Structure 1
Amino acid sequence: MKHPQLLFAAFISTSIFFSGCNAQSKSQNSFKLSATILLPSVSGRIDHLSFDNKHQIVFIAALGNNTLEAVDIKSKKVIRTIKNLKEPQGVVFIPESNSLFIANGGNGECDVYNAENFQKTVTVKLSGDADNVRYDAADKKIYVGFGDGGIAIIDATIFKVITEIKLSGHPESFQVDKTSKKIFVNVPDQEQIEVIDLETNSVINKWKMTEAKANFSMALDAINHRLFVGCRRSPILLIIDTQTGQTISSFSINSDVDDIFYNTVKKEIYLSCGAGYIDVFKQINANSYVANGKVSTHSGARTSLFIPELNQLIVASPSGFNRSASLSIYDIK
């Protein structure tokens, strides 16, 4: 995602702080800060994250630092750094081949690395601004939002482009619905959500945003046919029916949201907002939702990753005045 970047100075030695840090829960939910892992060598904006469940490693696209950081959440340490990337924005770990797929916004190239020795194996070249990435393990396909408007579908076994689907503007977050064989794509420059039919690989619908603008983040409840869309102007959460495109409900949220996750077990929605909060909502049923409080984080901490296997939410915080970049790990009870 292209936004002005702030470069913050950080000069703090590596250390780990456990629960009792400055992030405190202000909610009815059961978030507990279990650990904070410092990233002292990381400056600038942090973008998206991925997870290797077998080895318990989180991979971080440190966009402003032009690096990929690998963090072992068992030892609470940075174990490897891939340098000289070009504004990495999206990353996905592919367990079948033990590979890392990194989307670079600066040049549109998608670099594939061996996740054991961290050597580059291949590069997939797109036209520019490679951004959000999704991986379909069943079909062995990678989906990448890129350029002035496109979704590239890549074969995850040989890392070759299968096809490119044209959009009307640069895609931000998107979700692949395997049941309906559709992709729902945020296209904030055009103030709409575009719907792709995966059987024809073409856009079949465009839903205009009327309640708010700057629709950047998105999560999906495929069973109940609901999209959760985070907008920055004005900051609200929209719950949208994926079968009709109609808005079911909306809620005010904190500013600068960049990631949303849906917890299918607890029926909760988590939004990481750059204003310094995680907003939490409870799904009562497909048509009924309630705000369930918020959790304090840090200013600029707008990207995150929900790990269902661990029932944890990991929030990435950029460096700030007298503060190192870090990962905050929250247990969800």
Structure 2
Amino acid sequence: MKKIILFFGTAICLQANAQTGYKVVKTFHIQSPGGWDYISVNNGKVYASHGTQVNILDEATGDSAGFVPNTAGVHGIAFDNELNRGYTSNGRSNNVTVFDLKTLQLVTQIATGEGPDAIMFEPHTQTVITCNGRAKNLSVIDPKTNAVVATIDVGGRPEEAASDGKGKLFVNLEDKSEIAVVDLKTHSVLNHWKLTPGEGPTGLAYDAASNRLFAGCDKLLVVMNATDGAIVDKIKIGDGCDGVAFDAKQKLIFTSNGEGTLSVIKEASANQFTLLGNYPTKRGARTIALDQANGNIFLPTADFDTAQTSNGRPRMIPGTFQVLVVQASK
């Protein structure tokens, strides 16, 4: 995921009712060192990447349910529930850790392309796919053999991918401001679609019913027709978006913004989208996980002091890593 500057000012809501639609209802604190990236939810548990390990929490209580160690520079977590396996993308060690979902014991590690970042389980091909940022390619893993079966050059830095569930994969290319369309049968790139005026795409989600892609860009959510790459709409969102989630039941798109807001967009139809508001969360809460079963939203972040590091970013206060739980206001 891209590195972003965090803002210390109060997040500005763009609509008058933005204070009431969604709110932080719980905060789960995790006492371990390191930064963070993606967060995932699976079968009542929250999996938070954190430095060199993955912390696992009970979704309802925030109680620790264990951790997966030795995942250097971990970015994302994916799951194959039929095989009872979890997978982490380890950016520093250029590999994927495979672990048992019940015991959390290491199964194996699989070498990937350089800089594996986002990771996903692709349901149509029943494969695990990593987006390798430095290598500018994808690694396709067969979870039954724990082997890389294909490497796909996508022609840019892949940030996140979304599947149509029918054999096509859509990949945000952050450095090109494009979406690459991948044929998972032939392991080849079919098209490159421009996201202009969107720049620096990060999070990506897909609605199978409307056949629409939702790409989180710099201060902009770009809605794209997944058939031909036509831009359907452009919605202003909060600054520092690094994650997008789609609630298929409520037809809502969420973007997590590092400035400390959650942008919520309503999909009224395939061609009609409305920003409901930019709701306050906490600065640094830039990535997102959505539980499709109950609508709970999870955002990882931390506390920061006023000192800045050598690269100009705010300094995280050690021991303050946390997961925000966001729900719709009643």
Common topology (TM > 0.5): yes
2:154 to 144, 157, 167: 167
1:308 to 271, 284, 292: 292
- C-alpha change, 1:29 and 1:219, in structure 2 (3 Å) is farther
Distance in structure 1 (CA, Å) of the matches to 2:184 and 2:113: 22
Q: Which amino acid aligns with 2:31?
A: P
- C-alpha change, 1:4 and 1:292, in structure 2 (3 Å) is closer
1:273 to 257, 263, 275: 257
The residue aligned with 1:329 is 325
Distance in structure 2 (CA, Å) of the matches to 1:199 and 1:273: 35
TM-score normalised by length of structure 1? 0.86
Distance in structure 1 (CA, Å) of the matches to 2:151 and 2:255: 30
2:37 paired with 1:47: yes
The residue aligned with 1:192 is 178
- C-alpha change, 1:167 and 1:254, in structure 2 (3 Å) is same
Deviation of the 1:131 alpha carbon? 1.1
2:64 to 78, 98, 121: 78
1:57 to 20, 45, 48: 45
Deviation of the 1:144 alpha carbon? 1.2
CA contact (8 A) 1:70 1:81 kept: yes
When structure 1 is superposed on structure 2, of 126-135 and 24-33 the one drifting more is 24-33
The residue aligned with 1:12 is none
CA contact (8 A) 1:51 1:93 kept: no
Distance in structure 1 (CA, Å) of the matches to 2:30 and 2:265: 30
Query: Please, what is the CA RMSD of the aligned residues?
Result: 2.3
Distance in structure 2 (CA, Å) of the matches to 1:286 and 1:167: 28
CA contact (8 A) 1:307 1:313 kept: yes
Equivalences, count: 309
When structure 1 is superposed on structure 2, of 103-112 and 155-164 the one drifting more is 155-164
Deviations 1:234-263 (A, max 9, x none): x11111111121111101111110111111
Deviation of the 1:160 alpha carbon? 1.4
Q: Which amino acid aligns with 2:39?
A: L
The residue aligned with 2:283 is 299
Distance in structure 2 (CA, Å) of the matches to 1:151 and 1:329: 31
Q: Which amino acid aligns with 1:50?
A: S
Moved runs in structure 1, 4+ residues, more than 4 A?
A: none
Q: Which amino acid aligns with 1:274?
A: G
Q: Which amino acid aligns with 1:52?
A: N
SS of 2:175's partner is: helix
Deviations 1:179-231 (A, max 9, x none): 3x211111121232111122321111111232031011111112211111111
Q: 1:13-24 residue pairs with structure 2 within 5 A? A: none
Deviation of the 1:105 alpha carbon? 0.8
Unaligned 5+ residue runs, structure 2? Answer: 7-12, 306-316
SS of 2:3's partner is: coil
TM-score normalised by length of structure 2? 0.87
Q: Which amino acid aligns with 2:101?
A: A
1:250 to 223, 227, 234: 234
Distance in structure 2 (CA, Å) of the matches to 1:198 and 1:139: 7
Unaligned 5+ residue runs, structure 1? Answer: 7-23
- C-alpha change, 1:311 and 1:3, in structure 2 (3 Å) is closer
Distance in structure 1 (CA, Å) of the matches to 2:59 and 2:177: 38
CA contact (8 A) 2:113 2:137 kept: no
Distance in structure 2 (CA, Å) of the matches to 1:29 and 1:224: 28
CA contact (8 A) 1:141 1:155 kept: yes
Q: Which amino acid aligns with 1:67?
A: Q
The residue aligned with 1:145 is 131
CA contact (8 A) 1:185 1:194 kept: yes
Deviations 1:112-167 (A, max 9, x none): 11223322111110131111111134642111111421112211222211211111
The residue aligned with 2:10 is none
CA contact (8 A) 1:26 1:294 kept: no
Distance in structure 2 (CA, Å) of the matches to 1:305 and 1:211: 26
Identity %: 24
When structure 1 is superposed on structure 2, of 33-42 and 248-257 the one drifting more is 33-42
The residue aligned with 1:100 is 86
Q: 1:122-161 residue pairs with structure 2 within 5 A? A: 122-137=108-123, 139-146=125-132, 147-161=134-148
The residue aligned with 1:11 is none
Deviation of the 1:319 alpha carbon? 3.5
- C-alpha change, 1:139 and 1:80, in structure 2 (3 Å) is same
Distance in structure 2 (CA, Å) of the matches to 1:264 and 1:319: 32
Distance in structure 2 (CA, Å) of the matches to 1:28 and 1:298: 13
